[in-house]
């Protein structure tokens, strides 16, 4: 085993550095690389080689989780390009997006109070559709236009939607209990 801890997650799996990603190709590459570096294959090796195998297995799994999630993949691509998403420091959003978010929050609160699981599921579907739209825009911004500031703004929007999605999941648990 000759590990390269400096290569990108994409290079690790032999994939192009793009937001648009073939999920099946990622899954197949992950299975192949994970099998190659699995610590069980090095059970009879020396301690140093076992440690390297464990570190590589951990890295492979982390890389897979990062690339599997569209939001994490976008963050990673932006980081590779030297662009900070400023998720913790830049909360400025367009007024229409903030209004929509407030409407969703109110609807989530109302449905939670009323324990309306069906309404929460509809809200989750609506949020999912909006997230897919933003992911499409993110792909265009990263892969086509190379508009990194716009891509970072889209990542921030997706993070807001991710938080709302978690609120809906929590509310659904409560409504169904």
pLDDT of residue 41: 84
d(CA 156, CA 133): 14
Note the pLDDT of residue 2. 65
Alpha helices by DSSP H, listed for the chain, are: 9-12, 23-37, 47-68, 70-80, 95-113, 117-139, 148-176
Average pLDDT of the chain is 93
> Residue holding tokens 């500031």?
149
Distances (CA, A) of 71 to 24, 41, 66, 144: 18, 33, 8, 17
Q: Which has the closest alpha carbon to 83: 12, 31, 156? A: 156
Q: For residue 116, what is the DSSP state? A: -
Give the C-alpha distances (Å, rounded to integers) separating 34 from 62, 78, 85.
Answer: 11, 25, 30
pLDDT at 100: 94
CATH topology of domain 9-68: Helix Hairpins (1.10.287)
H or E element, residue 46: none
Mean pLDDT of 144-155: 97
Residue 119: Cβ within 10 Å count: 17
Neighbour count for residue 7 (Cβ, 10 Å):
12
For the chain, give every domain's residue range: 9-68, 95-176
pTM above 0.85, yes or no: yes
- Read off the pLDDT of each residue in 139-158 and give the average, rounded to a whole number: 97
95-176 has which fold? Monooxygenase (1.20.1280)
């Amino acid at each position: 085993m000759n590990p390269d801890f400096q290569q990108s997650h994409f290079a690790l799996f032999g994939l192009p550095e793009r937001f648009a990603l073939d999920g099946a190709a990622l899954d197949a590459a992950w299975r192949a690389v994970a099998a190659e570096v699995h610590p069980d294959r090095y059970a009879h090796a020396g301690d140093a080689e076992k440690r390297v195998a464990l570190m590589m297995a951990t890295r492979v799994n982390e890389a897979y989780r990062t690339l599997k999630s569209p939001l994490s993949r976008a963050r990673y691509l932006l980081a590779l390009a030297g662009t900070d998403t400023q998720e913790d420091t830049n909360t400025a959003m367009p007024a229409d997006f903030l209004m929509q978010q407030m409407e969703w929050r109110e609807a989530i609160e109302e449905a939670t109070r009323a324990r309306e699981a069906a309404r929460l599921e509809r809200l989750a579907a609506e949020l999912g559709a909006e997230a897919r739209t933003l992911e499409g825009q993110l792909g265009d911004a990263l892969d086509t236009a190379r508009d990194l500031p716009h891509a970072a703004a889209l990542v921030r929007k997706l993070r807001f939607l991710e938080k709302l999605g978690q609120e809906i999941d929590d509310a659904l648990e409560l409504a169904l209990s």
